[in-house]
Amino acid sequence: MAETPDIATRAPESDAQETPASPAVAEKSIFPGDTPAQSGPSMGEHCTTVRPSPNGEVPTGDLSKLGGIDVYIAKPSDYPHSPSKLLLLLTGGTGLKSVNNQLQADKYASEGFLVVMPDQFNGDPAPNSVDMTEIKETSSWLEKGKLMFAEGVKSLLIDEWLARHTADKILPILHKVIEGAREEFADAVANGGGIYGVGYCLGAKYILILAGDQSDPETEAPKDEEQGPAKKEPLLKAGAIAHGTMVLKEELEGIKAPVYIVAVKDDPLLPEEELLNPARTTLEKKGVEHQVQVFSDVPHGFAVLGDYTEPKIVQAQAQAYGEMLGWIKGH
């Protein structure tokens, strides 16, 4: 795949947002507004803030329900007359109603995938008290003070939001959607030999989980007290993620399906040394197909569709999409 001098291709590594980044790294910000939304590494500003849509584009998919869960569905223009493959798209904190997320789903649909994007936050997207358009250089100390206060308030709101949306809440939603999709779009699942997945920011965490060993507490009883729940095969045939957040080391090292990882250099939300590098070693030993692409000089969250003016981000966003698309198409 094509590379640029600022972008290095590396094998996957491991995740440990449990380990705080050093102050020097955590405070580094290449672009205005690219700061953790909390005092500790968890969610990035670019993952929780809705940016203007590129070129005034309008989504073409439909809001519907699968398994009783609200979903956005984007279909190829010639479906069902031509075969398609099923793609599960999991968003960052901006959620189902974000126009940019819907446009992202439409882009994958235009490449032949039947895209299902669930409301994994159950109608409760991340708080958005700071608008990116307000984050700019200003000579007024009063305006700067107001912005800093607003960012502080958002940090507290994000803390509360994350506490409401933990794995035990999100995974049952995803299981319902997957089962509903298997029934509703059995032709697409069969045509692709399974379900594919892409995830951004917090959604990336759940793509990794679904691409790994699965144990569903609602359907799997423990074999015995020592062995615990019976393990399942991955629910995804292959996956691709961009700038994951809240990812755990065991989630990265537990991957079983082929996964492509887009990461950001010096990103405290998905650190290379603590998470990605150890995971790479584990996955190589296990013989799991994987690849990591590390982008430099772009903010965490850069791959989420949105209207950017910085040429480097525009270029990197297009390349990340192309690499992720190429990976799932190739598997």
What does the pLDDT read at residue 30? 34
Tell me the average pLDDT across 309-314. 92
CA distance 103 to 74: 9
The 113-118 sheet, strands edge to edge: 7-10, 290-295, 259-264, 238-242, 196-200, 85-90, 113-118, 69-74, 62-66
pLDDT at 223 over 60: no
Q: pLDDT category, 249, cuts 50, 70, 90?
A: very high
Domains in the chain: ranges and CATH? 7-329 (3.40.50.1820)
What is the overall mean pLDDT for the chain? 80
Beta bridge partners, 87, equal 115, 196
What does the pLDDT read at residue 207? 97
What does the pLDDT read at residue 66? 97
Instruction: Return the number of other C-beta atoms located less than 10 Å from residue 113's C-beta.
Output: 27
What does the pLDDT read at residue 142? 58
What does the pLDDT read at residue 157? 76
19-33, 41-55, 293-307, range with greatest mean pLDDT:
293-307
Tell me the average pLDDT across 244-267. 95
pLDDT at 258 over 90: yes
Report which of residues 5 and 90 the model is more confident about: 90
Which pairs with CB-CB distance under 8 Å and at least 24 residues apart come from 173-176? 173/69, 173/118, 173/119, 173/120, 173/122, 174/88, 174/90, 174/118, 174/120, 174/206, 174/210, 175/216, 175/218, 176/66, 176/67, 176/68, 176/69
pLDDT at 149 over 80: no
What does the pLDDT read at residue 306? 84
Tell me the average pLDDT across 198-219. 82
Tell me the average pLDDT across 161-185. 93
CA distance 182 to 86: 9
What does the pLDDT read at residue 65? 97
Residue at 275: amino acid letter: L
What does the pLDDT read at residue 189? 97
DSSP 54: G
pLDDT at 158 over 80: no
Q: pLDDT category, 121, cuts 50, 70, 90?
A: very high
CA distance 283 to 15: 13
Beta bridge partners, 51, equal none
CA distance 295 to 312: 10
pLDDT at 137 over 50: no
What does the pLDDT read at residue 230? 59
Cα-to-chain-centroid distance, residue 189: 21
Positive or negative: CA dihedral 67, 68, 74, 75:
positive
